[in-house]
């Protein structure tokens, strides 16, 4: 039983590590591109995106604000994915009490 828990802890730690590194890399990449581009006419107008779908549409154009937003989104989703893996592991071990909590 302890080997299963150690394996789950290893998976959770790996998810947090990879998610944090990928999010940080996206943030640094977006900031780097933003710093080397020509400045926009209106200050901070590049950060305003009215719709969530604009992130993915502007990623195809190489928009640095979209890259930064994707990094933030990944940073938010990383702990959520950790919770999902933990709940699935509790369900796999048939520990329904902790899965419900």
> CA nearest 12: which of 95, 97, 90, 100?
90
Whether the Cβ atoms of residue 68 and residue 33 lie closer than 8 Å to each other: no
Confidence of residue 76 (pLDDT cuts 50, 70, 90): very high
> CA nearest 68: which of 38, 53, 50, 46?
46
Confidence of residue 20 (pLDDT cuts 50, 70, 90): very high
Q: What is the pTM of this model?
A: 0.74
Name the percent of the chain lying above pLDDT 70. Answer: 84
What is the per-residue pLDDT for 69? 86
Residue 66 burial (10 A CB sphere; 0-12, 13-18, 19+): buried
Tokens 């901070």 correspond to 44
Of 63-67, 73-77, 94-98, give the lowest mean pLDDT range. 94-98
């Amino acid at each position: 039983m302890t080997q299963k828990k150690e394996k789950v802890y290893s998976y959770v730690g790996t998810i947090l590590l990879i998610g944090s590194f990928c999010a940080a890399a996206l943030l640094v990449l977006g900031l780097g591109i933003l710093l080397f581009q020509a400045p926009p006419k209106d200050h901070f107008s590049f950060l305003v995106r009215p719709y969530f779908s604009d992130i993915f549409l502007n990623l195809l154009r190489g928009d640095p604000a979209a890259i930064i937003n994707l990094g933030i989104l990944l940073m938010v989703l990383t702990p959520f994915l950790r919770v999902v893996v933990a709940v699935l592991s509790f369900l796999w071990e048939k520990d329904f009490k902790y899965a419900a909590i």
